[in-house]
Structure 1
Amino acid sequence: MKAIIPAAGLGTRFLPATKCTPKELLPVLDKPVIQYVVEEALEPDDVDGVVIVNSRLKPQMEKYFSEDKDFEEYLRAHGKDALAEKVHEAGALPVSFVYQDDPRGLGHAVWCAREEVGDEPFFVLLGDYFVPDRQMCVNMQKVSREHGGASVIAVAPVPEDQVSRYGIIAGECVGSLEGSDATGENEGAVWKVSGMVEKPAREDAPSHLFIVGRYLLSPRTMDLLATQGVGAGGEIQLTDAMVRLLESEDMYALVVDPSEGCDTGTPAAWAATNARLALSDPEQESAFREALGDVAL
């Protein structure tokens, strides 16, 4: 099966930096954001390839995931074998590209990968968020297998006064992830989804669980996206197709802790993620603290 990463946006929040460097290639320590997401996507044992939905205005993305034997040989000739191996690993990842020529929404971006996916279930990972331990999708796969291959989405609790900012699921808790005894809206709980409500009023919210940006979807989703009309913002929304999917198939939600992941969607979040990973890396922490000097963390 394949994992889809929509990445056709132009990164306007990061302009002018993204005038020449796609935001997905901005580094978190020594790797670009998109590589962390690709590696996370490849962690489930059924995933054998990643499809990046790209814009033709960002050819740098494809260059990054291509082999560069001349550069590798140059590095090795100068005694930089470890760096050459890192460059090789990036170029050897099983990544392919399709294009979203018009910005018509997340649902349309996913649909652009239909030929690569074929008639198989698929993951969708949004590229502004990655999980360093790479276990979120693995755990979603476990839930799917426990429920006959059903679609699974990752959800997380949000404070009651913030539900109107998100897409919120309706449903009920029906169990927990293997090895967990979680219930309700606690991490590890598993819900059977009965509906989704986009940005509900506080008093109308069916739960406090919002969709995090990790999806494991049945192949029927692609069929529904082919006929999905425009929704919020005049775009083709993935959530709208998922609501239609519920009419014919079961869907489950795994409650996760969103703090397990790293947000890179804004300049401030990206900078904070760099700091967070530097502080958690034994090889980087002391140098990072020394570089900060008297700046308080």
Structure 2
Amino acid sequence: MKAVIPAAGFGTRFLPATKSQPKEMLPVYDKPTIQYVVEEAVASGIDDILIITGRGKRSIEDHFDKSVELEVTLENSDKYDRLKQVRDITGLADICYVRQKDQRGLGDAISCAEKHVGDDAFAVLLGDSITKGPKPCTKQLMEVYEKYDSSVISLEAVAQDKIERYGIIDGTQVEPNIYQINQLVEKPPANEAPSNLAIMGRYVLTSDIFDKLDETEAGVGGEIQLTDALSKLDSIYGFTFEGKTYDIGNRFEWLKTSIEFAMDDEESKNDLIRFMKSYVD
């Protein structure tokens, strides 16, 4: 299975930090957000990845490319642990890139992958969200896809005050954690939402999604919404995966995620706790 990572958005909620720096390259603790996403795809058994980029996103390509000068400098300085980190990034997977010419929404970005994907099912991992769990979220979705032979999307229950940020589903539970989806609504007001189960940025899609995207007109925000195209599929399932999604779409969530990931690092945890205590006191 191939993976598609849309990473073409402007990142306006992070301005001015994203004026010349892609939001997907903003570090979460010690790695760019998109590196966590690529690592999830690789940990799910995928080594063929297409990243959908746009103007001003060249640093994403540079990050996953070989850096001869940097490697030589690290080797000459006997910094072999850093050298290994740099080389490991380059060797993660076969990564290709295509540009979304116009900013016409997530659905349009996915359409850019049609030639690369062909007629096979493929995974989609949004470039500005990170997942964490005992098994990669994408791998869990792949297992559901193999069982039902149908498109499947990751779900997570969200608080009422966050419902309007996400696509929300109306579904019928067919087994624990798995729903047959009857309806998807893009960013509804909380009082009109059919549930609190939100689409959380991970998908395994069958190739007929491309035909549905071709049939989809501009929706919310004047963009081609992937949610609208998903609603046209003959069959689609939702899965509340085991784990947690970190939406890096705004500054506060990004900051909270960086702190949480730093707390998972034994080298930084105690220093961070002492700093936070001193700052609060």
Report the TM-score when normalising by structure 2: 0.91
3-state SS in 1 of match to 2:153: strand
Aligned twin of 1:17? 17
Structure 2: 5+ residue stretches without partners: none
3-state SS in 1 of match to 2:81: helix
Aligned twin of 2:169? 169
- Deviation, structure 1 residue 164: 4.9
Q: State the one-letter code of the partner of 1:280.
A: D
Aligned twin of 2:238? 253
- Count residues with an aligned counterpart: 279
Structure 1: 5+ residue stretches without partners: 177-188
Q: State the one-letter code of the partner of 1:21.
A: Q
1:99 has 2:99 as partner: yes
Matches within 5 A, 1:1-297: 1-45=1-45, 47-94=46-93, 95-133=95-133, 135-147=136-148, 149-160=149-160, 163-176=163-176, 189-200=177-188, 204-245=192-233, 248=234, 250-256=235-241, 260-292=244-276, 294-296=278-280
3-state SS in 2 of match to 1:210: strand
Choose 274-283 or 205-214, whichever is displaced more. 205-214
Whole-Å separation in 2 of the counterparts to 1:88 and 1:138: 25
Question: Structure 1 residues 212 and 192 mapped into 2: Cα distance closer, same or farther (>3 Å)?
Answer: same
- Deviation, structure 1 residue 163: 4.2
- Deviation, structure 1 residue 145: 1.4
Whole-Å separation in 1 of the counterparts to 2:21 and 2:218: 31
Aligned twin of 1:185? none
- Deviation, structure 1 residue 293: 5.8
1:77-98 CA deviation, whole Å, 9 max, x = no partner?
A: 1010110111111122222111
1:109-162 CA deviation, whole Å, 9 max, x = no partner?
A: 111111111111111111221013462111111111121x21111112234565
3-state SS in 2 of match to 1:295: helix
3-state SS in 2 of match to 1:85: helix
Whole-Å separation in 2 of the counterparts to 1:19 and 1:3: 27
Whole-Å separation in 2 of the counterparts to 1:264 and 1:202: 21
Whole-Å separation in 2 of the counterparts to 1:159 and 1:236: 26
1:207-258 CA deviation, whole Å, 9 max, x = no partner?
A: 321211111110110122233221222111111111111xx3x211111467
Q: Is the 8 A contact 1:36 1:132 kept in 2?
A: no
Q: Is the 8 A contact 2:216 2:228 kept in 1?
A: yes
Whole-Å separation in 1 of the counterparts to 2:11 and 2:190: 31
RMSD, aligned CA: 2.1
Question: Structure 1 residues 58 and 203 mapped into 2: Cα distance closer, same or farther (>3 Å)?
Answer: closer
Report the TM-score when normalising by structure 1: 0.86
Whole-Å separation in 2 of the counterparts to 1:16 and 1:201: 29
How many percent of aligned residue pairs carry the same amino acid?
40
1:166-210 CA deviation, whole Å, 9 max, x = no partner?
A: 42212211112xxxxxxxxxxxx1111122123445565433212
